Amino acid sequence: MVVKSHGKHRRTREKLRKTRRVTVNQYFKDFKIGQRVAIRIESASAESMPFRRFQGLTGEVMGKRGRAYVIKIKDSNKIKTVITPSEHLKAV
């Protein structure tokens, strides 16, 4: 009998596939409060990686917590906050 995986990276073979390398500049990107950003999960950096459901969604920067940003997104009909560092974000 095969045991099914229940980890947080399950069913992400296509979603977390790397197409390019991570540059140092991606770790030092700066976003202003109110700026629109897209969540692009960088699989090379597992630290504070957002949940796979939020891959590709756009939101608004609400604030900053340490090195991470607080992003307000709309997931179906609910407003949610995602806290993630800048390497998982891209300016829109």
pLDDT tens digits, one per residue of 22-67? 788 888 899 999 999 999 998 888 878 899 899 999 999 999 999 9
Of 63, 65, 58, 29, nearest to 45 by C-alpha is 29
Whole-number Å distance between alpha carbons of 64 and 81: 12
- At residue 5, the pLDDT reads 86
The pLDDT of residue 2 is above 90:
no
Locate the domains of the chain by residue range.
32-91
Mean of per-residue pLDDT scores for the chain: 90
- At residue 45, the pLDDT reads 83
What band does 74 get if pLDDT is binned at 50, 70 and 90?
very high
- At residue 13, the pLDDT reads 84
Contacts of range 10-15, beta carbons closer than 8 Å, 24 or more positions apart: 11/52, 12/52, 15/41, 15/52, 15/55
CATH no. of 32-91: 2.30.30.70
